[in-house]
Structure 1
Amino acid sequence: MCDCVNRGGVYIHVAVCRSKCIYCDFYSEVCHSGFDWERYVKTLVAELELRSCGLSAMREVSLYIGGGTPSLMPVGLLRFLVSEARRIIMSAGSGDVRLTEVTLEVNPDDVTAGNADVWLDAGINRVSMGVQSMNDKELRSIGRRHDAKKVMEAYGILRQRFGNLSLDLMFGLPGQTLESLSSTLDVFTELHPEHISAYSLMYEERTALTRLRDLGRIKETDENLSVAMFEMVNEHLRKAGYMRYEISNYALPGFESRHNSAYWEGVPYVGVGPSAHSFDGRRCRRWNISDIRAYMLAVENGEKCHEEEMLSDKEITEERIMTGLRTAKGIDIVRFENDFGKEARVELLDKAASMLGKGYLKLDYNRLSLTDKGVMLSDDIIVDLF
């Protein structure tokens, strides 16, 4: 149901880490000395080649190499991966194709001048670095390997080479205070990256973080303090010139992530690698198996490595509500009616009425969106609109 038929995204999942972050529930495996990087990369390329028919309608394509920890990949193989992905993307379309954004996720401890030079030469034009905090005690509390000094060193190397940098920030960390968060925000805004992602620490099932909390070794941040931290992040970044264009993402004007925006706008994207997800922009969602070895064997043997589902009309409508309200632009009510009918539009606005009255939602120029007050209650609000 996307009206952006010429746009698309390719996500490549590098499901390998040096060590597992205690809060992470994404699929990845700890890298060992005998890991066969060459086989893994060739499998990623082979899957993308097999999936190239899903790229045929795309004219403006973003490429995102995430993880896991893609910056662990030997630089020669990363160069090969980007080159092959570019070749496949460009040759899949029947007309002019532009690769608009090529993002690489990195950890500070993998950033060296030599690595960064190769990343740049390989065609990476946007780097996203997982920082989380500029307080060493807070970094240790969540098992991060780097410290604030390493962040500054890594950022300096990247800044000399790349014109589009994104930093990840987390709040609600164990032992974090408003004062320490403010100090981290001061450093972030002084560094002035083009993009900042700010996430509240989540206690997901089956993570080491949740086990530590349940054992009483870590205390979860009080809800009132978490709200105050979100408000601080929002205000601090706004004053520094950043616009919140999605619940957790802020950018200087013109530097919104094209790739992440595709997810929220219903643009088709192809995901390759173990556990990677894909969407055809209409009804079909698919996801790869979450097992590196089984994934490689399946692709090498020409066997199925994914599951898929066809979304119902109700699920498509709910998806539009959920993704639309994550963005600052919100839901385009006119487009919503065109896609789903007048009855669906009336039902949506009827359900939204009480939250509009309470100031959690706003309706401006036929766009329904969350207010700052409503963002912290977004999950509950979205469910109430289903």
Structure 2
Amino acid sequence: MARALYIHWPFCAKKCPYCDFNSHVRAVVDHDAWREALLSDMRAEAAAAGGERLRSIFFGGGTPSLMPPALVAALLAEAERLWGFDKEIEITLEANPSSVEAANFAALAGSGINRVSLGVQSLEDDTLRWLGRLHGAQEALEALGTAQAHFGRVSFDLIYALPGQSPRQWETQLARALGFGTSHLSLYQLTIEPGTRFASEVRRGAFVPLDDDAAAELYDLTRAMTESAGLPAYETSNHARPGEESRHNLTYWRYEDYAGIGPGAHGRRGGFATVRHRKPENYLAAVNERGHGIAQQCSLPVAEQAAEALLMGLRLAEGIDLAALAARFGMESGELVDEGALARLHGLGLVWTEGHRIGVAPPGRGVLDALLGEIVADGLVAA
């Protein structure tokens, strides 16, 4: 049963040119209407997803820090009424580091948020402008300080492997980021996603993405520096002090059930996949008509569930327990992984095995997608 809840707030002040998330810019947002819709959708999901106490809640977006703190408080109060909260519950909210949003941090902490993830993205003004961000570097640092004063746990994001970025440039910026003392960092290589403005610019020749070899060098540098600083990679792009990992995201990567409400939100419960309507107006109409925002709900074949569990779990430094996974899905280990490919990759030092556990070794993490294509057995349906 679901022990994690994801709440999607779809609105942003501006659409970033690299972003392919379900985010929308609207001149006016009716917060009362959204309060009622999200509460109704949450009640419907709780009725379907069982009553285990929640161990994590994550407000994602979009830009959830644009939500009125009173709305956040109302959603948390209803979630606690419906499910109950684990005594160590992690409640995360994604925030942009603008001065306007940072002014709400005290109220958001008072509403129950105990962890914040800041979308800093860069510590350089020129890069922030190129990325289409509305904040500057100094504003981001001031917001980070405010966040650290109000929340027990703080993470922030940076984007690297930018066009023309050198190892020296990234090393300088990452060393500075590590010096701020947060317990968690999410460090993402720039990817050119289809349908984004950056994808159009690359097609027009406006800029050339960093090549794979150069990006791999920066990835290795990132892993070495964060590990040396005591924030090793526990997932491909996420780094934390031991015990400070994102509990909510670990729910996804360990392929445990979670409920998802709000426009475009996905969920997994009891072998079923749920997807909410993506467009905000369609979502509101669906909730008003049916009491929930589900656009699709389907039972996943066991093979597809197993493939998803493998693809998610092998992103983690801890790897997966192959025997436990096989037992969970009523399969043999050889039906989950290509044992010949696994042995070959182990011999190359790209994967590790330890009893029933397998995982991708540090030298293989930079080519994770290619390795997954070899490791996962042909008979499984890829997620």
Q: TM-score, normalised by structure 1?
A: 0.92
Aligned length: 374
**Who is 1:369 aligned against?**
359
Q: 2: distance between equivalents of 1:23 and 1:227?
A: 20
Q: Are 2:205 and 1:216 equivalent residues in the alignment?
A: yes
Q: 1: distance between equivalents of 2:163 and 2:265?
A: 30
Q: 1: distance between equivalents of 2:163 and 2:130?
A: 6
Q: Is the 8 A contact 2:274 2:294 kept in 1?
A: no
**CA positional deviation for 1:143:** 0.9
Q: Deviations over 1:135-174 (max 9, x none)?
A: 1111112111112101110011111111200111111123
**CA positional deviation for 1:343:** 5.3
**CA positional deviation for 1:345:** 5.9
Q: Write out aligned runs for 1:214-253 (5 A).
A: 214-253=203-242
Q: Are 2:78 and 1:84 equivalent residues in the alignment?
A: yes
Q: 2: distance between equivalents of 1:252 and 1:165?
A: 12
Of 8, 20, 27, the residue aligned with 1:25 is 20
**CA positional deviation for 1:363:** 0.7
Of 345, 366, 369, the residue aligned with 1:379 is 369
Of 298, 319, 337, the residue aligned with 2:308 is 319
**Who is 1:44 aligned against?**
38
Q: Is the 8 A contact 2:56 2:248 kept in 1?
A: yes
Q: Are 2:258 and 1:264 equivalent residues in the alignment?
A: no
**Who is 1:12 aligned against?**
7
Helix, strand or coil at the partner of 2:239:
strand
**CA positional deviation for 1:354:** 1.4
Cα distance, 1:162–1:137 mapped onto 2, change above 3 Å: same
Cα distance, 1:296–1:110 mapped onto 2, change above 3 Å: farther
Q: Is the 8 A contact 2:338 2:374 kept in 1?
A: no
Q: 1: distance between equivalents of 2:217 and 2:79?
A: 43
Q: 2: distance between equivalents of 1:46 and 1:166?
A: 30
**Who is 2:380 aligned against?**
none
**CA positional deviation for 1:179:** 2.1
Q: Deviations over 1:190-234 (max 9, x none)?
A: 101111111111111110011111111121011111001111111
Q: Are 2:123 and 1:134 equivalent residues in the alignment?
A: yes
Of 42, 55, 62, the residue aligned with 1:61 is 55
- Runs of 5+ consecutive residues of structure 2 not aligned to the other structure: 377-383
Q: Is the 8 A contact 1:83 1:122 kept in 2?
A: no
Cα distance, 1:346–1:64 mapped onto 2, change above 3 Å: closer
Which AA in structure 2 matches 1:226? A
Q: Are 2:200 and 1:206 equivalent residues in the alignment?
A: no
Q: Is the 8 A contact 2:323 2:333 kept in 1?
A: no
**CA positional deviation for 1:308:** 2.0
Q: Write out aligned runs for 1:331-346 (5 A).
A: 331-339=320-328, 340-342=330-332, 344=334
**Who is 1:93 aligned against?**
none
Q: 2: distance between equivalents of 1:18 and 1:197?
A: 22
**CA positional deviation for 1:60:** 4.2
**Who is 1:296 aligned against?**
284
Q: Is the 8 A contact 1:16 1:30 kept in 2?
A: yes
**Who is 2:66 aligned against?**
72
**CA positional deviation for 1:12:** 0.4
CA RMSD of aligned residues (A): 1.9
Helix, strand or coil at the partner of 1:17:
coil
Q: 1: distance between equivalents of 2:352 and 2:73?
A: 46
Cα distance, 1:211–1:266 mapped onto 2, change above 3 Å: same
Q: 2: distance between equivalents of 1:325 and 1:160?
A: 35
Q: Deviations over 1:107-134 (max 9, x none)?
A: 0015556411101110000000011111
- Runs of 5+ consecutive residues of structure 1 not aligned to the other structure: 91-95
**Who is 1:278 aligned against?**
267
Q: Is the 8 A contact 1:283 1:311 kept in 2?
A: yes
Of 350, 362, 365, the residue aligned with 1:360 is 350
Q: Is the 8 A contact 1:60 1:98 kept in 2?
A: no
Q: Is the 8 A contact 1:23 1:203 kept in 2?
A: yes
Q: Is the 8 A contact 1:265 1:323 kept in 2?
A: yes
**CA positional deviation for 1:347:** 5.0
Q: Is the 8 A contact 1:71 1:110 kept in 2?
A: no
Q: 2: distance between equivalents of 1:106 and 1:367?
A: 36
Q: Which moved more, 1:314-323 or 1:105-114?
A: 105-114
Helix, strand or coil at the partner of 1:35:
coil
Which AA in structure 2 matches 1:332? D
**CA positional deviation for 1:295:** 0.6
Once the two structures are aligned, what percentage of the paired residues are identical? 32
**CA positional deviation for 1:15:** 0.4
Q: Is the 8 A contact 2:51 2:82 kept in 1?
A: no
Q: 2: distance between equivalents of 1:317 and 1:89?
A: 27
Helix, strand or coil at the partner of 1:238:
helix
Q: Is the 8 A contact 1:141 1:174 kept in 2?
A: no
Q: TM-score, normalised by structure 2?
A: 0.92
Q: 2: distance between equivalents of 1:163 and 1:97?
A: 17
Q: Is the 8 A contact 1:288 1:307 kept in 2?
A: yes
